[in-house]
Structure 1
Amino acid sequence: MKTTILGGICLLAFFAMIYSCQSDASIEYSRYYSAGAIVYQNHCQNCHGDKGQGLNGLIPPLTDTALLKSYNSKLACQLKNGLSGKITVGGKEFEGTMAATDLSPIDMAQVITYVTNSFGNKQGLFTDDQVQTALNSCSK
């Protein structure tokens, strides 16, 4: 009995040490990513799917890492202003309209962090400062 309690305390101490060793950047990334998952579920999942797979030939998937990297600085503008016209994703053409959103810059940063680090993508943290910079350079 004492061994079980002592083992449990040691295990708890071990996990506490591991958690306390996380860097501020790692904690910040985790905060953005987990909040972004909620924003995605509420605003994006209905069209882009629960796994970012898109909708047949109508709505593009969010699984093309190269495309997301090339659009990285444009993603905030696309969220704010919407997107229309032809887009090629994974060798397939999509033509339609993505409606503009009324997301705040922090919500945009969180959902961009989530999308660019989910569905096979690994691009790191996208902060609200980066969103603000991107929004300042939007062409609309």
Structure 2
Amino acid sequence: MNKYCLSALLLCMIAGCSGQDRAEEPADFQTASAQQTEWSVGEQIYQTNCAACHGTNGEGKGDNFPPLAQSDYIAGKPQAVIQAMVKGINGKITVNGKTYDNFMPASVLNDEDTAQVTNYIINRLNNGNSNISAAEVAAERSK
């Protein structure tokens, strides 16, 4: 009798682990996973194009380059990031109570890459909630 119980138990275990009838991942998890992937791409673009001046973690560099992480200039203002990237900045800006007077050239990134970097800066460096699209970047670029 023990043989039959053990066999039945093994058969149930094998059937349960077959992978068929596997539940789908929740939509929230899929969305979060897609955002993480996009932010990773944005981070790679940031590291290549922005980190030399603004720091690996967006901490800024001295008196010349303002921080992008935990920045009151950026917080809740994705359009400020987009405009800085597509138009550049020339002149004084105040970030976290400190004045910076330097030149930032306009970026050569396309609209999709600009959107990904913007979302990375807003969401990962500033704990924001932004989902800027390439179309929104194109609209800001045309202003």
Question: What SS class does the counterpart of residue 101 from structure 2 fall into?
Answer: strand
Match of 1:93 in 2: 99
Quote how far apart the aligned CAs of 1:108 are. 0.1
Among 36, 42, 46, the residue aligned to 1:30: 36
Q: What is the TM-score of this pair, normalised by structure 1? A: 0.76
Match of 2:89 in 1: 83
Question: What SS class does the counterpart of residue 78 from structure 1 fall into?
Answer: helix
Quote how far apart the aligned CAs of 1:129 are. 1.9
Matching residue's letter, 2:97: G
1:21 maps to 2:36: no
Quote how far apart the aligned CAs of 1:27 are. 4.3
Q: 8 Å contact 1:65–1:121 — kept in the other structure?
A: no
Between the aligned residues of both structures, percent identity stands at: 26
Quote how far apart the aligned CAs of 1:17 are. 5.3
1:115 maps to 2:107: no
Q: What 5-or-longer segments of structure 2 have no aligned partner? A: 1-9
Quote how far apart the aligned CAs of 1:65 are. 4.4
Over alpha carbons, which structure has the higher Rg? 2
Q: What 5-or-longer segments of structure 1 have no aligned partner? A: none
Q: Cα RMSD over matched residues?
A: 2.5
Distance 2:34 2:131 in 1: 8
For each residue in 1:14-62, what CA deviation from the matched residue of structure 2 results, as whole angstroms up to 9, or x when unmatched? xx858x2244643442232111011001000111001111001110001
Question: What SS class does the counterpart of residue 32 from structure 1 fall into?
Answer: helix
Q: What is the TM-score of this pair, normalised by structure 2? A: 0.74
1:61 maps to 2:67: yes
| Runs of 4+ displaced beyond 6 Å | none
For each residue in 1:41-86, what CA deviation from the matched residue of structure 2 results, as whole angstroms up to 9, or x when unmatched? 1000111001111001110001234421354223222212211100
Distance 1:45 1:100 in 2: 15
Quote how far apart the aligned CAs of 1:132 are. 1.6
- Using CA pairs under 8 Å that are at least 6 residues apart, name the structure with larger relative contact order, 1 or 2: 1
**Aligned pair in 2 of structure 1 residues 75, 120: CA closer, same or farther (>3 Å)?**
closer
**More helix as a share of residues:** 1
Distance 1:99 1:58 in 2: 14
Distance 2:97 2:69 in 1: 12
